[in-house]
Amino acid sequence: MSDRKPLILITNDDGYQAKGIASLTEAMKGLGEVIVFAPDSHRSGMSSAITTSHPLRARMIHHEKDLKAYICNGTPVDCVKLALNEFVDRKPDLLVSGINHGSNAGISVLYSGTMGAAIEGCVFDVPSVGFSLCDFTPDADFSATATVARNLAKKVLEAGLPKGVCLNVNVPMGKVKGIRMTTQTQGKWVNEYYRSKDGSGKDVFWMTGNFENWEEENDSSDEWALANGYAAVVPVKIDMTAYDFLPELTKWNV
Amino acid sequence: MSDRKPLILITNDDGYQAKGIASLTEAMKGLGEVIVFAPDSHRSGMSSAITTSHPLRARMIHHEKDLKAYICNGTPVDCVKLALNEFVDRKPDLLVSGINHGSNAGISVLYSGTMGAAIEGCVFDVPSVGFSLCDFTPDADFSATATVARNLAKKVLEAGLPKGVCLNVNVPMGKVKGIRMTTQTQGKWVNEYYRSKDGSGKDVFWMTGNFENWEEENDSSDEWALANGYAAVVPVKIDMTAYDFLPELTKWNV
């Protein structure tokens, strides 16, 4: 048991200047020694992408007692990897990512850079949690989410998380009725492009879309919790093996 | 039952000019109507990243009987989404991605653009398979992998795959002893950066690293299969919920 304070690594995918990461950093104050290691600009939708074709750079932009902040030209996963490989002198006790401006519930866990970072923390066997608020606006009110984040962070520092499991936490706008421990809603995005023209009349496609919920009646999944005013906490596994299908697959004669 | 030929969508993450996708396209010939919809250049390590900050463009570059090819300025997942939302007039019977130049076994499934595309096909409820050869070189010999791909594609066209499950297929270099239906090896990449200097003497970090296998003795996981000369087929789930941990998590008082 170290007598040093717990070490908390913070990152996000909206970039270091986002209000969400400032709120999360504030929420972690007093819980330990904090290191912020965040993208130098917006990296939304980056999933677990890593940078292989050009080199990464990082520099410290802030240093006070119990708080250091770095920015990096990579993806959220690059930030976690670079921090843990090269910039942090001990294994963090907790990684928190976010607070994302916008939901990462349901299938969006796959595309989310916020969750990419939390999943990467989990790869490093660091207890890791991604936080998202269902509000895309730059000046969203993160106060309720910050409270959820602080309470969950304390609990994770105390109880830990199983190896290979991290948490995806989404918080609805407005008053939060409570916290539901829940599952990833099955569904997908539809009508995903807005077709428009460029200046020379050629077709271009802008990402847009609506989430189609295939479990609308399921009051135990994350989208239901959010739609009903609850914060939704989904435990996420990094082992993607479909163990249930393996016995049948093994019978395939190929 | 349609009397049209099966529709097969092909994409990759090495870009349309890679030898791997040419080999995969050749391997699919005669199995149905083929549409290639691939990135216009290298998009390795893009995971399930999506493009939200600039518009996508796509154009047809080839058209013959039963084979159309498009290129797109997006990620592998963008290619799948754009093809299925805007360019394909019926749901494909099969999506194949690859053949990747390099392994996507073990934890690399998280970072792989090849598997990002297969996972996205699965989100669209299209039976989907990602293929990778454990050889990074541009002129790798894809012949054995192409045979595996053709046999597996036939089987998937006939038997389908369960909803929410796709396949991650990795093939070793050289002679292939057989096919193992297996699991995602637990482990992680270590020593992930090579620290170097730019022209003005500033530190830069290039991605590199070695895979640290935490299951070396486990002869049922994918890295073992590959190390022993077998092609490794891992069924991959898109629902990442850690159901095992949910009962304990539900007891948390936060």
Buried b vs exposed e over A189-202: b needs ≥16 C-beta within 10 Å? beebbeeeeeeeee
Closest to B45 (Cβ–Cβ): which among A49, A56, A198? A49
Helix, strand, coil shares of chain A as percentages rounded to 5? 25, 30, 40
Answer whether A111 sits within 8 Å of B77, measured CB to CB: yes
pLDDT at residue B2 in the model = 58
Q: Which of A10, A16, A190, A6 is nearest to A83 (CA)?
A: A10
Chain A CB contacts of B49 under 8 Å are: 45-47, 49, 75, 111
The residue to which tokens 């090269």 are assigned: A86
Per-residue confidence band for A2, with pLDDT thresholds at 50, 70 and 90:
low
Closest to B206 (Cβ–Cβ): which among A55, A77, A246? A55
Report the relative pairing of strands A203-207 and A178-181 from DSSP bridges.
unpaired
The rounded distance, in Å, linking the Cα atoms of B39 and B115 is: 14
The rounded distance, in Å, linking the Cα atoms of A14 and B91 is: 34
Chain A CB contacts of B39 under 8 Å are: none
Low-confidence ranges of chain B (pLDDT < 70): 1-2
pLDDT above 80: residue A100: yes
What is the DSSP track for A35-71?
Answer: EEEEESS--TT-TT----SS-B-EEEEEEETTEEEEE
Q: Which of B74, B14, B67 is nearest to B49 (CA)?
A: B74
pLDDT at residue B67 in the model = 97
pLDDT above 60: residue A1: no
**ipTM score here?**
0.96
What are A225-247's pLDDT values in tens digits? 999 999 999 999 999 999 999 99
Type of residue found at B187:
G
CA distance A189 to chain B (A): 9
pLDDT at residue A204 in the model = 98
The rounded distance, in Å, linking the Cα atoms of B46 and A110 is: 12
DSSP A156: H
Per-residue confidence band for A216, with pLDDT thresholds at 50, 70 and 90:
confident
Chain B CB contacts of A108 under 8 Å are: none
What are A10-26's pLDDT values in tens digits? 999 999 999 999 999 99
CA distance A65 to chain B (A): 25
The rounded distance, in Å, linking the Cα atoms of A223 and A121 is: 24
Buried b vs exposed e over A93-129: b needs ≥16 C-beta within 10 Å? bbbbbbbbbbbbbbbbbbbbbbbbbbbbbbbbebbbb
CA distance B151 to chain A (A): 6
What are A161-195's pLDDT values in tens digits? 999 999 999 999 999 999 999 999 999 999 999 99
Beta bridge partners of B221: B183
Type of residue found at B247:
P
| Mean pLDDT taken over chain A | 96
Domains and CATH numbers, chain B: 7-185+216-250 (3.40.1210.10)
The rounded distance, in Å, linking the Cα atoms of A70 and B79 is: 34
Chain A residue closest in CA terms to B47: A49
Overall pTM > 0.90: yes
The rounded distance, in Å, linking the Cα atoms of B78 and B49 is: 8
